[in-house]
Chain A
């Protein structure tokens, strides 16, 4: 049974990042597993990238190609539709997740498929496809090993690339023994993989319909591709007679040639390899080879909103490599679930609130789930300036609260403090007055040379850090004492 935990895309309210992060920070197994995993991939990625003398040029080409595509997305969408149709495929358009789910379920039903096999696709997680199919009496079998694991465990993914990173081998062994009816099983990874292989093989050979996502689709030729490691992508896109692919509209690239850029950027950024084990590029249908019926479902579900925001638009450059997750000091410690979204980490912090909309739910807290260190921007293969978008979205969140939040928004303590401080900084006399007032006002808090507890919302600081008191003399007071009241030396 599939359980898709309510998240930002489920339509309801979600908790704030600060709350869920507090819980996951205390999960020692997660901290250990995730810390080790991200450190490992980080180092490997650095090696893979260092080998490339033209890495920065590839990044720039990637960014430019995405910019070109997004600025003319309508034209490219139409070209893609034409190319795929010419090649014998069918193109469907879905305004939102619900619509996409209905289209896909409809195709499965029309072929009498009670079971479908799926390749990992975050887009289908976004739309909650599995849940919808189940409601229609169609069972969707996840075939990525990690997706299989979390599906059996009734959990949700915690990492874009390694979804079961939070599970260790003995937990996986338990799971397989219980849910797959295996009697005797070691927790040795190869043995675990063998069990999955046999179980899924049967499904692949029987399935009438395969469902996948897509990494890229070329407008010029209609060529779609799936980039993977295990081979289940090849299975799902080759064996079943019918293939349905769900793809976000932002995944289009202009020409066949442009693959030469993205197929260099993606493997080194994601699994830190020169090339991932398997990539399949297919164009519509090929006679006598693979599915004879191919459907591409183009998904909007908020992407046009992201597109409309001139600063936020770059978010759609994303090729889902997860390099940003692996370098993020926040993600490394809180894990993916803390983001309450199928898109976690730095990219999730900017993509989720834009897809969902500002002022709707806890995803408003996501742009603040960052210290703005910029490590993500450094590694993004398509040069998304994530810190810039984070700051931009924080602005949208604040303005929404101020303009649409009514009295509650205006009286928000943070807002009040910020307004006051802005006023203080706007005039020298106010500023200097405030400096003096703070110095005087701190005396109840400062004892024995340190401030041990700040009041109210600022208590978070003194929970773990000592604070030294405000000094007796400000810099400008000293300057004046040296130089008189003038500006020069």
Chain B
């Protein structure tokens, strides 16, 4: 074994060395780590092409599969957004887009981006690849179930895409799928389209329950020696809290989808009151549309935190590695993630302030919503304080994290506008809401995703992405996206409602035509500039600079496997042993500006490390 192997794994022999430290304690004492509690995991090794790359049980392969599938759906969603923006900015250029089409684009764009792109990417993509590596496990605890979970997701995507091709087309009810309109004539895709959407969502929930169980149990019960919960990177905390939210929030979505499917297929009346349509009273009666909204948003609000929390966790790791400084207030960050996760179950009806629900709920939900702003703000403070007295490398990844901070604070503040119930009254259902959620849930997490790809691409492929192309990609994306959504808030202020096929030119309000044209042009430029990213990835796969070992000089376990990119089983013969948290950057007295998690204290005796 070469010398650099020592950095990764401390053989048991070293622990029983008899040499002593300056203070008189033996090496054995300060390097003590509890012995293994359970036997090492026995993995299934695929040998054929199919069992190694298609029906593969290796979480890393599954992670890449999720990533690619999610990105594919994201590209579909992106193209839909171009079509929508063309209709809004230059309707005369797209006469073939009818109102029906437009609403179908709106719905599919929304559902794809929120659920099939962002959730699948963070939990299935990053979760599968990073979790076992970061906690020192060989794989997830149930690799077979993990594999099945991906294929469930794949089938769910196929069912969703199939809805484009059925008679009536995909559903055009808005991603929120509100009854009664979602299943009635007058809304596009109210036949097979809505049914396929509901079925696809049910499959998605089942698949992500299987995956989620894996992520949770792996982190709770399969960490390596020395890896306490408070030594886990914040990426893991973010993803795992999001998974816990998913386990508890997806049930409400499943139930609402089942009930709406029954309303459509069997003509039950769970959500359907007495309805008069085209002069005829329909066969429904006695149901409550607001019940659907409660169920949907009980899922829907935790859902946005399922997207946001992994982003919070990952960005903390990106900042600390590239600013060469420990994340400020790690314990507070952990509690903030967990606290935000828990509180997210108590705020759902802030999406329903003007829904006609009992007005007394408004007081309660406004209060809880504004309370949840506090831990979120603390996280923001901690990110920027991490930059204070740091040593910041202004590379592409750092640029993306700075872009995240700007867009997230912007989107978070506009959330405070909307959360304050009385302020929500004029702004609800206007473009202010659209601008808010795109900024905070579209752009900010997207900044993190892109930064994370630049950061972990060397790990997954062994090659670096081009810095030059990366910087161009960043500036186009960040400046372009900010120019789209910042001005859009003002469309909301003048009162333009959302989900309008045609912007009116009303004599009573300032014209929005010019602004809409500007936003459309910006959107198309941002969309096209993603080709820089794709080009960078494709070319760097073959011709990128070789990454070598741990190119970013990071501390966390995923960079410390014996083989890079990590092989099946991750750790070779011996599991790693962990001695510290992953944020020992620039520790006073240490030789280098980083100390990896597997470096025993005996190797850094001069360092004034804080005990973690």
The judgment on whether A and B are partners is no
